[in-house]
Structure 1
Amino acid sequence: MTAPAIEPDPQWEEAGVRLEIDGGTAVVTLCNPKRLNAQSPAMWRALAAVGRALPGTVRVVVLRAEGTSFSAGLDRAMFTPEGIPGEPSFLQLAAAEDKELDAAIAGYQEAFTWWRRPDLISIAAVQGHAIGAGFQLALGCDLRVVAEDVKFAMKETSLGLVPDLAGTKPLTELVGYARALEICATGRQVGAEEAVATGLASLAVPAAELDDAVKDLAAALLAAPRSAVIETKALLQGAAGRSYEEQRAAERAAQARRLRDLAGIGD
């Protein structure tokens, strides 16, 4: 089946985001390397729109970035009194009513949350610096493959803020509470060796091999039947919130659905 054509919004690329679809794989590229793929609300709106636009034939989404760095984090203009033209500054956000401020941050978070949808598996290909919002964007994906030169860092706390782009839960789940706290509170860099050792990344490869390694992983993920992958992902995503007995019951129910589907027996 051929995926329906998507007409990308020109504003996506203006905001530093490009979407390409090849069969069951979508590639989302951060494409503002001159600015080290610094992030802005316009980029976040584009990323959220990309997630909404994906056709149902897409099974794997690859998030990658052009240039030497995955993302240097927030556009520094957001920290100035003037902010980014056309966007609320931090000072304006701080002065907003609670509901308005909460809605603004929730809107920003949309760019970081759709990557874990149950019908997709997402892979972040990360090279160079992934700082703050860049780190959290990589954490939004199901899997991370990194270049050997990668440097993750959560700088928000050092700036008097907190990581608020949906990154704290996956970071804690991946590396544990104590290490997550230490990484966030100190703002230190996490390199490729530590990322793989702690489960933050699945694999580290030389930078020149990063795209090929991710393509190989995407191909392996596409090899299994989609319905079985979706059921397995749901089992694993829900495991932390279930007791051992509840997880066993969830496994039985999922397997019953798979057996009946394979046998052509409806509900």
Structure 2
Amino acid sequence: MTSPDSVLDKDGVRLTVEDAVATVTLTNPDKRNAQSPALWRALVQAGRSLPGSVRVVVLRAEGKSFSAGLDRQAFTPEGFDGEPSFLALARSVDAELDAVIAEYQEAFTWWRRNDIVSIAAVQGHAIGAGFQLALACDLRVVAQDVQFAMRETSLGLVPDLTGTKPLVSLVGYARALEICATGRYVHADEAERTGLANLAVPGEELDNAVRDLTSALLAAPRDAVIETKALLEGAASRTYEDQRTAERAAQARRLRDLAAASD
């Protein structure tokens, strides 16, 4: 193993790369890693900066909380320095408001690329945008003190940072509706039981658990993982027959690649 290379460190986001593993760290523990448009742009830049050699991306956060959600300064008249306040955005024309929200969503979309597997290591509070950032990843390993909550509805808003689809896929419509509409906390035991978390461990074991999972993911040939991920991602939107067809096509590609490698 080589030593980690620092690729990016700005606006509360640090990206380091060590061989086939990239680590994206939220680095503002004093504010419980509250999120802002600048942080979202840094996350987008992190995704665009990944070397082609990276197979696994770990998302983690410094401090006691993964992310307490959107920084409430967004809702003040002054907003953030150099940024339009959310109150000003609310008064913009529909096309402009839609474009701004779409830009914010980009920070949450690249984690499910087929060429990588992303793991969120979550401790403490993961509220609102923090919950949705954890949901943006393929897999979640959580500490026993984790507290997920979707508070947007309680504030008169909706979860709009791509979290609704993975939440429904993981826990089902009825439970997802109840979690969002009530804004209640989901703790580690429930998260693991319902599939929201792949694994729940004591806080002191979180880093080791993520390392073990990362090693297991890297043990399989990369192209096989990529093909399998694409099959699973598309399964919900395909008919049974279409999924059979997709499986055959993927397996044919794998067999041809293996045969070519043995020549």
TM-score, with normalisation over the residues of structure 2? 0.96
1:48-79 superposed Cα distances (whole Å, 9 cap, x missing partner): 00000101000000000000000000011012
Q: Which residue of 2 aligns with 1:160?
A: 156
Q: Percent identity?
A: 74
Q: What amino acid maps onto 1:225 in structure 2?
A: P
Pairs within 5 Å for 1:130-209: 130-209=126-205
Q: Is the 8 A contact 1:41 1:108 kept in 2?
A: yes
Match 2:86 to one of 87, 90, 112 = 90
Q: What amino acid maps onto 2:223 in structure 1?
A: S
Q: What amino acid maps onto 1:108 in structure 2?
A: Y
Structure 2 gap segments, 5+ residues each: none
Per-residue deviation, 1:178? 0.5
Per-residue deviation, 1:35? 0.5
Q: Equivalent residue of 2:109, what SS?
A: helix
Per-residue deviation, 1:182? 0.4
Structure 1 gap segments, 5+ residues each: none
Q: Is the 8 A contact 1:39 1:74 kept in 2?
A: yes
Q: What amino acid maps onto 1:55 in structure 2?
A: P
Q: Which residue of 2 aligns with 1:39?
A: 35
Per-residue deviation, 1:130? 0.1
User: Which deviates further from its counterpart, 30-39 or 256-265?
Assistant: 256-265
Q: What amino acid maps onto 1:71 in structure 2?
A: S
Q: Which residue of 2 aligns with 1:50?
A: 46
Q: Which runs of 4+ in 1 moved over 6 A?
A: 1-6
Per-residue deviation, 1:95? 0.9
Q: Equivalent residue of 2:120, what SS?
A: strand
Per-residue deviation, 1:88? 1.1
Q: Is the 8 A contact 1:59 1:222 kept in 2?
A: yes
How many residues are paired up?
A: 261
How many angstroms apart in 2 are the aligned matches of 1:119 and 1:107? Answer: 22
Root-mean-square deviation (Å)? 1.6
Per-residue deviation, 1:246? 1.0
Q: What amino acid maps onto 1:86 in structure 2?
A: G
Q: Is the 8 A contact 1:30 1:65 kept in 2?
A: yes
TM-score, with normalisation over the residues of structure 1? 0.95
Pairs within 5 Å for 1:1-267: 7-8=7-8, 12-13=9-10, 15-264=11-260
